[in-house]
Structure 1
Amino acid sequence: MSAVARASALRVLAAALVATSLLLAPSALPALAAPAPPRVAPRVAPRAVPALAPAAPSLALAAPARRWRAVFDDGFGSPRWGKRGAVWSDRTSAYADGASDPDQFKFDRVQAAAMKVSHGQLHITASPTTAAVHGPWRTGLLTTEPWHGGVAGGNGFQLRAGDYALIRMRLPGRQDGGGHGAWPAVWTWRDGNEVDLMEWHSETPGIIEFANHTPGASTYSFVHSPLVGFGRWITVAVRFGATDVGWYVGDDTHPLRLAYQDHVGVGAKWHAYLIASLSVSAQPGRLPSSAHPISMAIDRIRVFR
């Protein structure tokens, strides 16, 4: 994340954690009531975006409207990262050296060995590289951004204004180390064009975070959801509208429902690379408390246009 964006988000989060009653205000943060309808009705027409089959065991989509077509789809059937011609790179220009980001309060040291594919899922495991838990942690990150002309992979795919992205993922569990310092995220990056499809911190396990940090925008929301928590499989969807970004949350038994929309958007000419990462937090109050590994999984990522 950019320094300005992260600093702003940290200030907001600090205030939010002090005054948790603000997080419950239905006018600012619509609750995701399941299985009953949400208290705030979605402002997007139900058929405006592809919907998930409510009881699907994986990211099986119902037939989308004809105007939608899949332009990116990775179900992680095999490792495809870190070498020329691969879909993903494990290096990003969002990090000064491509692999670590201490200025943004992260202990990350991105290494390909922290990632593997098993049973059609991407598994990322973070573990400390020394005996000091408040030091570097080996972890994983994937992006479609080409690294140094694609020498380390990255097929160059970019999300655009108007796209609709879907991600099915498992949050870190309390018992597998996720109860300390876990910071999974799916986000975008290109010269500061950052939108956080989702962020989650293990210190506030019932809250999912959304943000639009594109130039000229600074919108964010910390949404309480009963679908979010330690070890939960969730589906997050984002509609990247030019004048309004909408975030949706669901799971295998609850269909996607609108969780937040910013009424600002990304602008008609916006485009940015896709990133999925598992960071380990170096933020005060969110430091790792043990050397136990932290893990997360991603089942599938799809983008419609």
Structure 2
Amino acid sequence: MTDQALSVFGRIRQRLTGAVPGPRRPRGRLVFTADFSSTDQWVAGRSWAYPNGGPTNPGDHKLDHLVSDPAYSRRGVFRATPGPDGTWYAGLLTTEGSRDDFMVRTGDVLEARVRLPREVGAWPAIWTWWEGGNEIDAFEYHPDNPDLLELSNHMSGAGHYHRDPAIRPGAWVNLRVELGARSVVWWVNGVRAFTDDAGLDSDWRAHLIVNLSVADGTYHPAPEPGRTSLSYEVRRLRVHRP
């Protein structure tokens, strides 16, 4: 069954069992459209979400060694390859510290289209960060849990494991996150996946981060011996604001 058919099936199934409507078209203006090649929008290879801005973060069970090499992130394909001392060179882009300094805010709607990685050990994510916190995970994924996306609001401790047959290694997935004051709502392939019933403070804001981490084997398997590359793709990332 194709990804499109699975998505349609999921919407029909949910409406038959719960009559949950699909997402409305975002209201307001389009305030951000990602151009990963833009050095005005994005900084590559460092983030204060990592200790001392990087390049490594072993305390979070990651083998990442962040690099600014454009081949690892600037084309929308986020890559990782073996590096020194058991680490992996990995791509990360953030709006933090960029010339445009874009930040998402309460009320914004984030939309993305991603192709999930196939390789065990890959740990892709789209998330937010500002001044030591303000983390919302639009998604995280580990191919060893092939049908599961992790969706989290770290401000409230709310989170959800979303399972669906349309989620699988190599699949294209459409994501939408409504950053509401009363609830943060995640949609996956047009189906409401999670409503946290917690929301965000009216003055909440954060920078965007898009990256491919590498698991160290503590909670998810590290890359298989002999593996020379990991990757996932972000085809679209944009933000609407009321």
Calculate the TM-score normalised by the size of structure 1. Answer: 0.70
Aligned to 1:70: 30
- Find the counterpart in structure 1 of residue 110 from structure 2: 165
CA displacement at 1:182 relative to structure 2? 0.9
- Structure 1 residues 211 and 154 mapped into 2: Cα distance closer, same or farther (>3 Å)? farther
| Equivalent residue, structure 1, for 2:4 | none
**1: CA distance, partners of 2:204 / 2:34:** 22
Q: How does 1:22-171 map to 2 (within 5 A)?
A: 33-34=9-10, 36-38=12-14, 39-42=17-20, 46=22, 49-50=24-25, 64-65=26-27, 68-76=28-36, 79-81=37-39, 86-90=40-44, 91-98=46-53, 99-113=55-69, 114-118=71-75, 122-130=76-84, 135-146=86-97, 153=98, 155-171=100-116
Q: Deviations over 1:243-280 (max 9, x none)?
A: 10000011xxxxx1111100001121110111111000
Residues of 1 paired with 2:99 and 2:222: CA distance?
Answer: 31
Q: Unaligned regions of 5+ residues in structure 2, if any?
A: 1-6
Q: Relative to 1, partners in 2 of residues 1:288 and 1:304: Cα closer, same or farther, differing over 3 Å?
A: same
User: Partners in 2 of 1:116 and 1:194 — Cα distance?
Assistant: 21
Which structure 1 segments of 5+ residues have no match?
Answer: 1-30, 51-63, 147-152, 251-255
Structure 1 runs of 4+ with >6 Å offset: none
Shift of 1:46: 4.7
Aligned pairs, number: 227
Match of 2:211 among 269, 273, 277: 277
Residue deviations 1:199-256 (CA, integer Å, cap 9, x gap):
0011101001100001xx1000001012211111111110001110000011xxxxx1
Partners of 1:33 and 1:187 lie apart in 2 by 28
Identity of paired residues, percent?
A: 33
Matched with 1:26 is none
- Answer yes or no: is 1:294 the counterpart of 2:234: no
Classify the secondary structure of the residue corresponding to 2:59.
Answer: helix
Q: State whether residues 32 and 226 of structure 1, in contact with CA within 8 Å, keep that contact through their aligned partners in structure 2.
A: no
Q: Counting strand residues as a fraction of each chain, which structure ranks higher? A: 2
Aligned-residue CA RMSD (Å):
2.0
The aligned amino acid for 2:161 is F
Which residue in 1 is equivalent to 2:126? 186
1:41, CA displacement in angstroms? 3.7
Shift of 1:141: 0.6
Native 8 Å contact 2:73 2:92 kept in 1: no
Q: Give the secondary structure class of the aligned counterpart of 1:243.
A: coil
CA deviation after TM superposition for structure 1 residue 97, in Å? 2.7
Q: Calculate the TM-score normalised by the size of structure 2.
A: 0.87
AA partner of residue 228 (structure 1): I
Greater RCO, 1 or 2 (C-alpha within 8 Å, sep 6+): 2
Deviation at 1:116, TM superposition (A): 4.8
